[in-house]
A and B are shown apart, each in its own frame.
Chain A
Amino acid sequence: MHRQETIDRSSVRPDRVAALESRQERLDRFRRFLKLETERLRMRHRMGLGGVEIAAGRSDQVDALLEELCLEISVEGGEAAGGALPPWAVVALGGYGRRDLAPHSDVDLLFLHPGGGSAELKPFVERTLQVLWDVGLTVGHSFRSPRECVAEARRDLHSRTALIDARLVTGNAALFHALSRQLDSDLHASRRATDGFVESMKVELRQRWEKFGGAVCLLEPNVKEGPGGLRDLHAMLWVGHARWGTRGLAGLKAEGWLGEREFSSARRASGFLSRVRNEAHFTGGRRTDLLTLDVQGDLARNLGYVPRGGLLASELLMREYYRRASELHECCRAFMRVHLKAPRRQFPGLSVRRRPRKGFEVRGGELTLRSGGSALHGGPGAVMDAFRIAQEEGVPLSEDLKSAIRVRTRLIGRGFRASREATGAFLRLVQRRGRVAPALRAMHETGVLACLVPEWARITFLVQHDFFHKYTVDEHTLKAVEALDEVAAGQDPALAPLGRLFDELPDVLPVYLGMLLHDIGKGRGGGHVVRGVAIARRIAGRLRLAPETAEKILFLVGAHLEMSQVSQHRDLTEASLIDAFAARMGSLERLNALLLLTYADHRGVGPGIWNEWKATLLWELYSRTRPRLAGGEPREDDGDASARERAFGELRSEAPGEEVEGYLAGLPERYFRATDAAGVVRHFRLLRGRGARPFACEWRDLGDGRGTELALTAEDRPGLFAALAGTLTASGVDILSVDLFTRADGVALDTFHVAELPGHRPVAPGRCARIESALAEAVAGRVDVGRSVERWRSRAPRRARRHWGRTARPATVRFDQEASAVSTVVEVKAPDEPGLAYRIASTLAELGLDITFARVATAKALALDVFYVRGGDGSKLAPPAMREVEEALLAALGSRPRVRAHG
């Protein structure tokens, strides 16, 4: 752009006839000038002139206008005041100061006065501003002396950054130099002020990124303020100026603070972003820095993009935008990391170098190449080593290491993808629960992911045209994997129910890979699910996955929308729907994996998409489907009425209505959730039949070798459950599961699912009478159950163990204070063995705890026992009590049996 030309044109001023010209006429003259120049600029922009040049041209336009306007008004002002005005200067600040002004951006002006006599200048400033407003410019202005400027810059970060780029537009040059000198001596030369500035810059950067979406790949990014926006460039320039006094990108490069590659990528990015921003301003006819979905099409067309390869023009524009912005963002982050190291603090362990591994080492909390390192020269395996070691150490890769990998990846190319070494290493990375997302993100950023899975490139920087999504497909996918990691890590108690699903998965690879590939079919026209399955099948083949594993992944990709659709759009109370859904799932593992994936998929869409409402529906579907897949006794259909209502209907014929009603009212709500109508009826009869006896029970063969159900009722007392469990164990009966309830009136109602220890058969009918009398003795407290158990154990040393766990995992104890209003929930996970329930129950009883509800269940040689307990005083456990309980339980479970008194 030719600055002089613009200035000359503005000087084709209607000869200085200010006195004869009316105010309106002057306004029209400046308006005409601005309109014409803007149009001229727009044409040059459309013809393809670069973003930086256009922004400079706009700045020159405003310069020319200001020069002329200020001259005229100051002359008038001087005449009116009967002499010359005190010295003044008009100074351009911020982007305008850098000659980087987008067509409709604010014009930031400083009217400088010498200090005293500012009152005489006021009318001049006011009249100038009035005209500027009236011609349609948005002006940000201040009216200060140099001293006031310095004070303001000290106080406010934005004033300081604005002043960094101060430039004299017109007026008294000596006054402007006074400002520059004072800024340099009082501010820029002060070490303390600089450190403070740089620190607050860092904070501001982070806050701004967070405020503008926290990611480059937003579907509607802000080209100026967002991560990867032009502000990232400005921040680098400001820091460069504060630290080393450099000006512009070229200055940073010349002084060696920016490498050749970083320099050219930052320059390319800023040129592109400026051009897009200029277009947005021209198209919108106003200041618009937010690239909303509805304008992206127009922008793309005006910038000359044409649809290609099944992608829309807007998708191509945005893809380039994300690529450039990512480059700039990376460049800015690396720059800040390298040059803004926090002052050294004495953090042992942070600065200490850890043991070097395979040519890499952890330094400053990052994985780097060892000095002079040639670690990456070993081919694909060496590249994958970097990700593996970073994952194991739990640290990110350093910027230098990432760039080195980027270069290597390009060199290795196809051979990389095909190599068994690389795919094997990749699959190991994806199996490390809780730590997968950082590895995938690093692989994504270095291009290794797109190299291993070329289909990934297709969804990289791909815009999604829908109402809900906030990120591009790749970013959405990585965010979803991060959500899975968060569940797996188990730090957030709110995610504990999902965490338990994770624990049940025999293999986490399918859910992680399914997550990575769930949207892989996008960007190829409609039906991304079907396309995605086909693509995922190809990828699974290339990764040489076992057929069963591949099938699990393909299932997840194919079904990834189904669970939320069914939960929101179907009647979940309809048994046939649940049957069909269970059949579609096919196994509990798939159901678990799909719920996890559905959750994470929602989380990856954007903040606020996952909510309680959707969660409740999904869990409703889950908990209705689970019993159909979990094995065990299938629950009777609730049908139209609940178990409570159906049982009531059935029992009314055999007992007075009030008695039945009273009985049902005394049972806790969860009893009806766990018990079908027939069970409720049986229990009522059992209790009624007990009459005044202290104890009654009923045996029922479940058929098909599924064991025996023992329903049992007695007056509750502390230690009752331990006594029952111990007696059963001592009688050679294995407890598979228990549901324990206590009625409001203190009657315990327990249902044991049991089997003979040897052979795991139903309890022989002939033995029932003997066991029953032993139970009666135990309930009455007439035998020492602890001793009976010890006797049994010494007679039958471990011989009857049902299964051996693959690895003897240590027992864990978990507490939950939220699940119940009145009790503390104790969850014990331990390798299953005969007598386990007794051991836990007796430990709890010894501690004087009251068990109000229990559920003992076994899955894959691992017992998961849940006890609702209350302290002796009937309240929830306090933290010290929880510690005591945990220690006692771990001692009881960790060590071999030891003789303990029965409580």
Chain B
Amino acid sequence: MKKLEAIVRPHLMDAVKNALQEVGVVGMTVTEVKGFGRQKGHTETYRGSEYKVEFLPKVKIEVALPDELVDQAVEAVLKTAATGKFGDGKVFVSSLEEVVRIRTGERGDAAL
């Protein structure tokens, strides 16, 4: 099992979600997050007073997957979340030791 975390632009969240569902992902967790990458945020001026935008708003999508779905899922995120500009985000994939469905106590792939 793998865990996929995708940091994407807020406005592309729906597109990414739909693409993941098409691949066969059944559940996900979505969080409003802020952060920066190589672009290091930027500074805005508004009537002369500058306000710093050190952390840019993004959406984090977390998905737990069986191993065989990972490649397709990553592909789905890449296809939908890329604009080619700075700040498109990242996908992190890590291995997942255990999943337990709280209601039934099922474990492993059965709990995904």
Contacts of A626 in B (CB 8 A): 46
Cβ proximity bits B14-45 to A, threshold 8 Å, 1 near / 0 not: 10000000000000000011100000001111
B48 touches A568 (CB 8 A): no
Decide yes or no whether B68 CB sits under 8 A from chain A: no
Q: Which A residues contact B (CB, under 8 angstroms)?
A: 497, 500, 568-573, 611-614, 616-617, 619-620, 622-623, 626, 640, 669-670, 673-674, 816, 819-820, 825, 827, 854-855, 857, 864-866
Q: What is the bound-complex CA distance between A725 and B47, given in angstroms?
A: 20
B48 touches A616 (CB 8 A): no
Q: Give the residue name and chain of the B residue nearest to A867 (CB).
A: B48
Contacts of A674 in B (CB 8 A): 45
**Contact with A866, one of B47, B57, B85 (Cβ below 8 angstroms):** B47
**Contact with A673, one of B10, B44, B85 (Cβ below 8 angstroms):** B44
Q: What is the bound-complex CA distance between A669 and B45, given in angstroms?
A: 10
A617 touches B10 (CB 8 A): yes
B10 touches A819 (CB 8 A): no
A673 touches B42 (CB 8 A): yes
Q: Which B residues contact A (CB, under 8 angstroms)?
A: 9-12, 14, 32-34, 42-51, 53, 55-57, 83-85
How far apart are A569's CB and chain B's nearest CB, in angstroms? 5
Q: What is the bound-complex CA distance between A619 and B55, given in angstroms?
A: 13
Q: Give the residue name and chain of the A residue nearest to B86 (CB).
A: A642
**Contact with A670, one of B9, B43, B83 (Cβ below 8 angstroms):** B43
How far apart are B102's CB and chain A's nearest CB, in angstroms? 20
The verdict on A571 contacting B46 (CB below 8 Å), with A612-B34, A616-B56 known, is no
Contacts of B48 in A (CB 8 A): 827, 854-855, 857, 864-866
The verdict on A616 contacting B34 (CB below 8 Å), with A497-B51, A569-B14, A571-B9 known, is yes
A570 touches B11 (CB 8 A): yes
B49 touches A825 (CB 8 A): yes
**Contact with A669, one of B42, B49, B51 (Cβ below 8 angstroms):** B42
Q: Give the residue name and chain of the A residue nearest to B34 (CB).
A: A613
Contacts of B55 in A (CB 8 A): 616
How far apart are A187's CB and chain B's nearest CB, in angstroms? 50
The verdict on A864 contacting B47 (CB below 8 Å), with A573-B85, A669-B42 known, is yes
A497 touches B43 (CB 8 A): no
Q: Give the residue name and chain of the B residue nearest to A825 (CB).
A: B49
Query: Can you list 7 A-B contacts with CB-CB less than 8 angstroms, sorted by A residue number?
Result: A497-B49, A500-B47, A572-B11, A614-B57, A616-B55, A623-B44, A640-B84
Q: What is the bound-complex CA distance between A739 and B54, given in angstroms?
A: 23
Q: What is the bound-complex CA distance between A857 and B46, given in angstroms?
A: 12
How far apart are B34's CB and chain A's nearest CB, in angstroms? 6
4 A-B pairs with least C-beta separation: A855-B48, A866-B48, A613-B32, A669-B43
B85 touches A827 (CB 8 A): no
Q: What is the bound-complex CA distance between A423 and B9, given in angstroms?
A: 48
Q: What is the bound-complex CA distance between A572 and B58, given in angstroms?
A: 13
B57 touches A617 (CB 8 A): yes
By CB atoms of chain B within 10 A, which of A497, A616, A866 has the most?
A616
**Contact with A819, one of B14, B49, B57 (Cβ below 8 angstroms):** B49
Q: What is the bound-complex CA distance between A613 and B60, given in angstroms?
A: 12
Q: What is the bound-complex CA distance between A107 and B3, given in angstroms?
A: 50
A616 touches B57 (CB 8 A): yes
**Contact with B49, one of A571, A617, A827 (Cβ below 8 angstroms):** A827
Q: Give the residue name and chain of the B residue nearest to A615 (CB).
A: B57
By CB atoms of chain A within 10 A, which of B10, B47, B85 has the most?
B47
Q: Give the residue name and chain of the B residue nearest to A856 (CB).
A: B48
A855 touches B47 (CB 8 A): yes
A611 touches B47 (CB 8 A): no
A619 touches B51 (CB 8 A): yes
Contacts of B83 in A (CB 8 A): 571, 573
Contacts of A819 in B (CB 8 A): 49-51
Contacts of A614 in B (CB 8 A): 32, 57
Q: What is the bound-complex CA distance between A617 and B53, given in angstroms?
A: 10
Contacts of B47 in A (CB 8 A): 500, 855, 857, 864, 866
Q: What is the bound-complex CA distance between A571 and B44, given in angstroms?
A: 17
Q: What is the bound-complex CA distance between A855 and B48, given in angstroms?
A: 5
Contacts of A611 in B (CB 8 A): 32
B43 touches A569 (CB 8 A): no
Q: What is the bound-complex CA distance between A820 and B44, given in angstroms?
A: 12
A568 touches B44 (CB 8 A): no
Contacts of A825 in B (CB 8 A): 49
B45 touches A673 (CB 8 A): yes
How far apart are A710's CB and chain B's nearest CB, in angstroms? 19
How far apart are B86's CB and chain A's nearest CB, in angstroms? 8
Q: What is the bound-complex CA distance between A669 and B55, given in angstroms?
A: 15
How far apart are A195's CB and chain B's nearest CB, in angstroms? 50
B11 touches A571 (CB 8 A): yes
A866 touches B11 (CB 8 A): no
Q: What is the bound-complex CA distance between A857 and B34, given in angstroms?
A: 32
How far apart are B75's CB and chain A's nearest CB, in angstroms? 21
B11 touches A619 (CB 8 A): no
B50 touches A820 (CB 8 A): yes
Q: What is the bound-complex CA distance between A294 and B50, given in angstroms?
A: 47
B49 touches A619 (CB 8 A): no
